Structure 1
Amino acid sequence: MMRATDSEGIGVLVAISLDTIRTRLSCVADGGHVVSLGGRDKSVAVEIMSRNLAFSSIDILHLKPKVLTQPAERMMQLLAEDKIKLPQPLLGFKVSDINGGLGRAIITWMADRGAKHLLVLSRSGTSSQAATQLVVELKSRGVNIVAPRCDVSIQEDVTVMLQEYFRTMPPIKGCINAAMVLQDAVFQSNMNFQQWNLTMRFKVNTSKNLHELIPKDLDFFILFSSVAGVVGQMASAHYAGGCAYQDTLAKYRRALGQNALSLDIGWMSNIGIIAEKEAY
């Protein structure tokens, strides 16, 4: 929380337990407001007063039980009528090289926000020490993460992997495709077919295979594209073409009534291939 607020702290802390107040009080900015839904605690009173914090203790369950019982009864009625659905643990179907910084950042971000089942497909598997450490860390946090070696640009490989997946994992509810391979070369002079094909495969084929093979009723289908597909990029005509395909595929899916979003990201100097490769 301090990192997200540039060390200034949050303005309001709503805590459902006294333990939350004890462990998170340092993240509240001076002059902020602490709202306790779990009673009062004299042990933090001194710090609250010394930092000019406002404190409110709310115990609705005992003071006004009808305030809670009426919404609860309404919620049960809506569930019975199938007008609302209980939230499911987020299943992220994440396609990216877990050995790269961007892939690891996305996976960590998803786990921090409640993802409990993650299928991470990469043609190299967990070949780096950082990737292996991330898998171990997330498993210790109760995340069911599976990171097999699978080339998502090959339809047969994805089909086999999904068949194995569905035997032990819950339904897929989301997909993120961050696959990419850069093979910089000038199209008119020194780009060979292998360079063209490899870069295009990991943009076009991966996106097409995921669109065709995974369930259609996803909560999200996100393609990590690039601004290169909009404005072009020196020595990256094949990469720009692949990104343009992803943008168009997202539009096509939405025309079919399916969720889709293509993110045209720019150069990221602090994470990913730009930060990790000296050539850039």
Structure 2
Amino acid sequence: MSLIIRLPHSHASVHAEPMETNSLAPGLYIVATPIGNLGDMTRRAIDVLGAVSVIACEDTRVTGKLLSHLGIRKPMRRYDDHADASARDGLLELMRSEPVALVSDAGTPLISDPGYRLVRAARAEGIAVTSLPGPSAVITALTLAGLPTDRFMFAGFLPAKEKARADTLAELAAVPATLVFYDTGPRLADTLDAMAVHLPGREIAVARELTKLFEECRSGSAADLADHYRSHPPKGEIVVLAGPPQAPEAPDEDTVETALREALTRLPPSQAAKEVARAFGLDRKDLYARALSLP
């Protein structure tokens, strides 16, 4: 048996009815679940959850509520960050002969959630792995923020400690892409304060309550957003995005010549050209020719 979903017109509950279908082949099925609006549960996801033998999940209480809402009763096994090798081995043994689903508490499994070791082990043993696309807070936030999406980097949660957070942002500052992070309400203002220091001049967006009734995506400078959320403490899960670094303005000719002349007082022409090229992002060969022509 599997299930057919009837999508609601609002955030109301999802109703499902049984449907005759062929049984699933053995293997691992990665199933995305809603991040807020239950209407985002796909028909295929419901069909698979209704047909597998076991559902591996982060928290059986959270997944149990979703299954109850969908009218599905299936055995669940907890598989989270604290799962040991024996838990993984037990799931691998089961999926050799039966279909097993992997879900997270919300969204697409493995995206800042446990599970990659299970997928890696299944692939290594030749067990079929099938991924069902669906809700993802990262992608949803990117589509709302209005920041460049041709290149982006998801970096999960920033460290909670100030120095580690600063070190991570400093490491990522030069990445020529939109940066995407997960965050929580109590830490958001501190995160934005750190971004103001280590990602200066970037456009920042904060997306929260995604797919829910009070969905919000607020953009601005890190400092302004920090002030706002310090005055209006948010709740729930949050996505913070930082636009890519801006290309530096091209230096004027006088500035380049002054730097080149200064470098030539310390270095031979080839080394002086190399130093100035690195400092201003200019062509080293052109600068070398210019150094040789200076009186």
Bigger Rg, which one: 2
Normalised by the length of structure 2, the TM-score is 0.31
Answer 1 or 2: higher relative contact order, Cα 8 Å, separation at least 6. Answer: 2
Normalised by the length of structure 1, the TM-score is 0.33
